[in-house]
Chains A and B, each alone.
Chain A
Amino acid sequence: MVIAVVAGIAPPTAAVTAPEVDVSDTPYDWGESLTINWIPSGPPDSIDHYEIWRRAGWAMLPAPIGQAHSSSFARIIREAGWHLAGTASATDTVFIDSGLSSDSSYVYLVAAYGKRSIRISQPTRPARPRRQYLDTRHTNILLATILFISAVVFFVERARRGANLFIRRIAGLEAIEEAVGRATEMGRPILYVPGLEAMDEVATVAAIDILGQVAKKAGEYGTRLLVPNRDPIVMAVAQQVVRESFSAVGKPHMFRSQDVFYVTFSQFGFAAAVAGLMMRERPATNFFMGRFYAESLVLAETGNATGAIQIAGTDADAQLPFFISACDYTLIGEELYAGSVYLSRQPLLLGALKAQDYAKALIIGAVFGVVLLYLISPEIAELVRKAFG
């Protein structure tokens, strides 16, 4: 369907034809973009690039377009009220034109710049961007999110009504009682580092949860608790939690805000200060809970040199090998998130853990299922696999 050959360039030899263009509403926007796709008008090496032109309202091609030179093509088409929406490379076949308004319609044409000629497509039918309330690309994530949230709510409700939810023994968490006891016997303080991440990082929330339980133990045993912080908000929350824990075990006077303090936001300034603290205050028990980075081994190895009992817990899998080599107990990844549930034995929190376990079973089943399905019917298997993307 060759519409117009722009004269002035050597007659066409390559098999470059005018692109066939179609326009449709982008299925996942707020009515401000249209998707233009076209069938390539020749082998990629014969095409330099494409230009996508847009015009508000309805229009036919301006008559003199046939005789225009390639340089004058742009001038003529602009005079006819068209605007350059964008360019695309030789291998592209889709272009999303955004920044449009949903109460007017638009017409498009695509110019294929060949090595020696321009091929211009027929203008498309007018199209209006429409508003979608749901981003259809994320439907699978939406289903997974709804499924997981309802599982958490379901198991939490069941736990609230007293269902006895079992949780397996986690060595690192069992050892907390013994570790705090040791510090009390030796009359040395306990050091608790709630990780280096900000308060909005979920690993830090888990670390603060465990801090609450450890602070209660320290309060019961009457042992001093040192909590250096790298993030100011974490410091503020940690002070609140430690003060509440001490008063929960009837020891409000034990709280000293100087013991839960801000050091510096610098990763290695913080590591230097805590390493110095370990050498000078000689805590008998060190806790490293939350998200850690490369400084983890500076803390763990210095602590190891002081002979303290060390219990670490992190979801930073890059740091787990260092904690495992230098600490007595290490909570691996998800075990950090089970910490507060395990120690507080709160039924509500046990419910959420149940949901995680069922999700694991589901994922393992899905992975094995899809691989087996490939043997039976690859098409369906591919469909299921795509749904996970």
Chain B
Amino acid sequence: MKRQGPIILAFTIGMLMLVQFFTPAAFFKQAYNIILDWKQVVLGFTFILGTWSLIRYHYTKISRRRENWQYSYVTLAGLAATVTAALVWKTATGPYPWLFNNVQVPMQSTMFSLLAFFVASASYRAFRARTFHATLLLIAGALVMLGRVPIGAYLSGSVFGVKISLVEISDWVLNVPNAAAKRGIMIGVGLGMTATAIKIVLGIEQTYLGKTD
């Protein structure tokens, strides 16, 4: 019951969602919509579990005076402030949107913008003609970089009388070899995902149930 039950449930729900793709029967369409709604409710409830884990993580850090424990107060305060703001002043006005627009969004966008710096340091280190493959990475990367930028439009000359602009080469690299590699990976991943999904539905895959041998 502890192990077979979830496997049987996974099989029935999985087959139901698979079959509904192939049949227009009204029953399957309704079942499909209901299952999607159930999924959302389950996810919604688990956010309570997640927040409980967050609170316990920072509470233990404070109580055990582990390194940087003082900052855990900031996290718990931020959490408390946002939730109380939503409950008391509701989500449309007041401190809730203020915290979102002036604390959360700016920091998220700044964290994202750090990538501009990391892309520079990563490309400086990785784009080095050490091996054959690294050289390919370098050539393709530099070529596309130049092609996507106005300076690239200047760099076009004629080879054997055929006028070639860097932008055209860059577009060709993007539209042919790059698309080929992407499609190869996509088909491979598609196969991998489908096989794993089949293993889940047929109960061959059970690690997610905590069985690891």
Contact = CB atoms under 8 A, between A and B. Distances in A.
A344 B190 CA distance: 22
A322 interface: yes
A199 B202 CA distance: 18
B211 A244 contact: yes
A315 B194 CA distance: 13
A324 B205 CA distance: 29
Nearest to B28: A30
Q: Which applies to chain B's interface (DSSP): helix, strand, loop or mixed?
A: helix
Interface string A300-343: 11101000000000010100111011100000111011101000
11 contacts: A132-B24, A135-B22, A205-B196, A209-B205, A235-B53, A241-B212, A262-B57, A263-B54, A321-B137, A337-B193, A360-B188
Interface residues of A, number: 91
Contacts of B182: 317
Interface in A143-171: 145, 148-149, 152-153, 156
B122 A317 contact: no
Contact of B208 (A142, A148, A241, A332): A241
Contacts of A268: 107-109, 111-112
Nearest to A315: B189
Contacts of B185: 315, 317, 320, 332-334
A148 B194 contact: yes
A152 B207 contact: no
Interface in A179-229: 198-200, 202-203, 205-206, 208-209, 212-213, 215-216, 229
A13 interface: no
Contacts of A199: 208
Interface size classification for chain B: 35 or more
Q: Which applies to chain A's interface (DSSP): helix, strand, loop or mixed?
A: helix
Interface of A: 28-30, 32, 131-135, 138, 141-142, 145, 148-149, 152-153, 156, 198-200, 202-203, 205-206, 208-209, 212-213, 215-216, 229, 231-233, 235-237, 240-241, 243-245, 248, 257-258, 261-269, 271-272, 280, 294-295, 297-298, 300-302, 304, 315, 317, 320-322, 324-326, 332-334, 336-338, 340, 344, 348-349, 352-353, 355-356, 359-360, 363
